[in-house]
Amino acid sequence: MQALLSISKKIDALNELIGQAVGWALLVAVLICSGNALVRYGFNNSSNGWLEIQWYLFAAVFLLGAPYTLRRNEHVRIDVITGRFSQRTQVWIDLFGFLLFLLPVTALILYLGVPYAWHSIQNQEMSSNAGGLIVWPAKLLIPVGFLLLLLQGFSEIIKRIGFLRGLLEASAFEKQVVTPEDEIAAIKEANQIQ
């Protein structure tokens, strides 16, 4: 079980790193969106390529951010119902949900997404819009995102089993509540280091 917990930590670290990096993609998407709007309305000029890069970036944020969200336990839940149960029962509900819903759905989308992306890569698929971009990078995000989500699902299952066996504290998978004061203190600390 210790080997599985070690693998779980590595999966968590990978998705944490990717999730933080993908936050920058959101900033870039907002800047491109704003710049495109200024150019379009200010100079009556634009390109479909700029619109498409925006949705590529938003797709990256969504697909690569989902495993990060699951890792931080920030995903959509039924806390209104499960909050009434003991922590142990909540963990069993999580395990049931991961095994019955998350893993099968992510595996199915991964199974269907790989040939979908591969076909686009082989054909060097281009957008049908004038001035559009190549399409395969966006389609490749689907299997990559769902592979990372599948891995994170396995990590969450390992952590829940570790908790049930008494090998892990619940803090390893509980939602990390950060107050605004904590965020401000972290920013101040980061600025002092630099």
Q: 160-175, pLDDT tens digit by residue?
A: 898 888 886 766 677 6
Task: Give the separation between CA 100 and CA 121, rounded to whole angstroms.
Answer: 32
pLDDT band, very low/low/confident/very high, at 53 (cuts 50, 70, 90): confident
Task: Yes or no: say if 32 and 50 are a contact pair by the CB < 8 Å rule.
Answer: yes
pLDDT band, very low/low/confident/very high, at 176 (cuts 50, 70, 90): low
With a threshold of 0.85, does the pTM exceed it? no
Q: Indicate if the pLDDT at residue 179 is higher than 90.
A: no
* pLDDT (mean) for 105-122: 94
Q: 3-44, pLDDT tens digit by residue?
A: 888 898 899 899 999 998 998 888 888 898 888 888 878 887
Instruction: Say which range, 133-137, 148-152, 154-158, has the weakest mean pLDDT.
Output: 133-137
Q: Indicate if the pLDDT at residue 178 is higher than 70.
A: no
DSSP string, the chain: -HHHHHHHHHHHHHHHHHHHHHHHHHHHHHHHHHHHHHHHHHHS---HHHHHHHHHHHHHHHHHHHHHHHHTT-S---HHHHTTS-HHHHHHHHHHHIIIIIHHHHHHHHHHHHHHHHHHHHTT-B-SSTT--BSHHHHHHHHHHHHHHHHHHHHHHHHHHHHHTTSS-GGGTS-----HHHHHHHHHHHHHH-
pLDDT band, very low/low/confident/very high, at 149 (cuts 50, 70, 90): very high
Instruction: Say which range, 65-69, 110-114, 137-141, 166-170, has the weakest mean pLDDT.
Output: 166-170
* pLDDT (mean) for 76-92: 78
